[in-house]
Each structure stands twice: as C-alpha cells, then as structure tokens.
Amino acid sequence: MLANTVIANALLASAISVTPLESPADIHWIGVSAPSAEVVWISGSNATIGRSLDGGSSWEYFNPVNQALEFRDIKALDSDHAYALSIGTNGDSRIYYTANGGQSWQLRYRAGGTQFLNCMDMAPNGEAWVYGDSSESNWEMIRGADGRNWLSARNAVDNKPLAGEGGFAASGGCVRFANDSWAIGTGNASTARLLLKRATGIRFKTIDTPMPAGPNAGITSVWPLAADHVLLAGGDLQHAEARPRLMEYRNEQFTALSEPPLDGALYSLTLLPDQQGLLVSNPSGAALLAKREGEWQSLSAANVWNSACAAEVCYLVGKDGYLARFNWRATSTRQSIDVLE
C-alpha cells in the first residue's frame, strides 16, 4: 500500500515538465524498454522498432520484417541486445532478437495457427515467459530458458484456464518479472486472475481478483514486489466507470489504491525506481503518483499506451507517434524516507 510517507522537508512542489520527442507520426508506439536512462528501445506498428542512445534526442529505426506486423512488446537488455514480440494469429505472433543494436534480427519463435501472444518479459538469468490467449481449455504460454530455445508451457499453471481467458497486448505489461518473482494478469473471462510464482517455482498459482471481469475486461498490467505482493492495473474497456482499476495484492488480501485522474481502463503500470511511486497511462493520458507528493499528478492528455523508467527518467509512448520523456524527481524538492511496505 502507498502509505506512511515520512516527509523531511515539505517545500512546495515544482511541476513536472514532459518533453515531447520527435517521432514518425504514422507509427503507433506500444512497446518501450529502457535498460538505462540514456538507452531506450520502442516498438509498434508497421513492423517498426526504434532505438536511442542519447535519451531520445536522436533515433535509429529498424524493420525486422517487410510485413506489417505490430510489435506490441520489446525487452531490451542493453544498447545492443533486445527481444521484440509481434502479435496476431496465423503465425503473426513472433519473437525477434538482435545482438547488434538492431542492425539485423533473428526469428527466435513463431506461433502457429490461432495462437495469439500478448506480452513477454525476461529475468536477468535469461529465463523468459510469454503469455498468450488460452485455446481449447489450454494455457498458451511460452518459456524461453536461455533466449535461444522457446517451448510451449501449457502445464505451467496449477489450474485450467477459464472460458475465454487470455490477456491484453495493450502495453506488454500483462507478464512481469521483478523482485525475484513472476506475475501474470488475465482478462476476458468471468474472473480476472493473478498468476504468481517465485523465480525458482515450477508452476504459477492462480488467484481470483476483484478486478473488473468479462469480455474486454480484466488485468492489463502487473508489477510484483514479492512473491505475495503485487500491484495490478486494468479495468473494463467497454465500461469506463468500472472499478477498481488499480489494486494491491498483499498477504492474500486485495486493497484498492487511489484512483488516477484518467478516464477508462488503465493500460500500463510502471513502478518508479526505488519504489518511489506509480506511473499509469491509457488513451486519455498519463498520471504519476509520487510518494513524496501523496497525490496523483496529470502528466499528459495524449493517447499514451505505455511507459518505462530508468534512474530519474521516464519515457511515454502512444498513438500517432506520441513519444515523450520527463524527470520524475522534478515533482518536488521534498525528501521521503519511506518505501512501499
């Protein structure tokens, strides 16, 4: 829970300055990964991937394939190594890899038939999990043990999927590795569920949540703080008023967190470095809850689908080429000595 922030020096806050970055207006950016404050990778429509080595001041753009694939998720390890996930059926769900800064790309996995992959993440040891929509009462999950070999993992969950259970490819956040734990958020079924396992665990544990459920509703983004402590974002894409949209799961209990000043279901959830706050976004904009401030601050009214932070810098990406960055520490000169408990 975001609580008990101890303020050492309560000086007035200074507003965050969000800096727009140049970007092709015909690309819908959805994936973003920032292995450092200066190195950032983005991915999106028209099979386009971008890389910047100077904090977004200049960009290189790549097209791993000639087809009009949508790269909805990207995981960058550093300035040279990155994995990109495209989405779709009939073989359009694929994983590409580059080891030379995007100059060339290798196809590492291609889904078959109706298989639709939504999101992916990778642990520091090279283990990766990819979460897809369930099919014929089976989980469609892919595990990569070393970045080279990717295999189906239909038995990786302790219970069968619900009818229609799947995920959302809106931000690449429906699977996340952090704090030695894996978390997955599900949607489109009668109950939105949280799937959890420790880094050393064999199977994911299924946990029913109070998040909005049903067609086009559920959990869009997750962030594990521990094996029994996870932040969840989501909502109902068809019913903007559905609540809750932001929750905390801890010690087998769910708690609704403060609602951000955005309309509709939340798409992305990013935890600031050192657990200093939350950043959320959706087509109505982006908002920041810095712990030292204790209240939500609107950052943008643009159509923002995703975000990523490294050190003091955060990046926002979205529709019609939207691309921006800001320094989240600029919210205030106040000092906080608390962390998420």
Flag whether 226 is in a domain.
no
Q: Which pLDDT does position 335 carry in this prediction? A: 35
pLDDT of residue 294: 85
Pairing of the two strands 268-271 and 253-256: unpaired
Domain hosting residue 72, numbered range? 24-115
The CATH number of residue 74's host domain is 2.40.10.500
Q: What is the pLDDT of residue 10?
A: 27
Q: Find, among 114, 61, 107, 56, the residue nearest to 86 by Cα.
A: 107
- Amino acid (one-letter) located at 16: I
Tell me which residue of 272, 282, 267, 257 sits closest to 330, measured CA to CA: 272
Does residue 241 lie within any of the structural domains? no
Contact yes or no for 323/43 (Cβ under 8 A):
no
Assigned domain for 69 exists:
yes
pLDDT of amino acid 1:
40
Q: Look up residue 37 and give its two tokens.
A: 């404050």
Output the tens digit of pLDDT for each of the chain's 341 residues.
433 332 222 223 447 999 999 999 999 999 999 999 999 999 999 999 999 999 999 999 999 999 899 999 999 999 999 999 999 999 999 999 999 999 999 999 999 989 999 999 999 999 999 999 999 999 999 999 998 899 999 999 999 999 999 999 999 999 999 999 999 999 999 999 999 999 999 999 999 999 999 999 999 999 999 999 999 999 999 999 999 999 999 999 999 999 999 999 999 999 999 999 999 999 999 999 998 778 999 999 999 999 999 999 999 999 999 999 999 988 543 433 233 34
Report whether 281 contacts 304 (CB < 8 A). yes
* Number of domains composing the chain: 1
Question: Is position 228 within any domain?
Answer: no
Contact by Cβ (8 Å): 310, 328: no
Distance CA 310, CA 287 (A): 17
Predicted pLDDT at 331? 54
Burial string for 114-150 (b: 16+ CB within 10 Å, else e) reads ebbbbbbbbeeeebbbbbbbbeeeebbbbebeebeeb
What is the predicted pLDDT for the residue at 8? Answer: 27
* 297 bridge partner residues: 288
Has residue 335 been placed in a domain? Answer: no
CA distance to 45, 72, 188, 303, per residue, from 66 (Å): 12, 16, 32, 27
Tell me, what's the pLDDT at 330?
Answer: 80
Say if 256 falls within a structural domain: no
- CA nearest neighbour of 209 among 186, 182, 238, 188: 186
Burial pattern 34-72, b for ≥16 Cβ within 10 A else e, equals bbebbbbbbbbbebbbbbbeebbeebeebebeeeebbbb
Q: Could you write out the three-class secondary structure of 247-294?
A: EEEECCEEEECCCCCCCCCCCEEEECHHHCEEEEEECCEEEEEECCCC
Residue 43 lies in a domain: yes
CB 232 within 8 A of CB 185: yes
Residues 61 and 103: beta-carbon distance below 8 Å: no
Q: Is residue 188 in a domain?
A: no
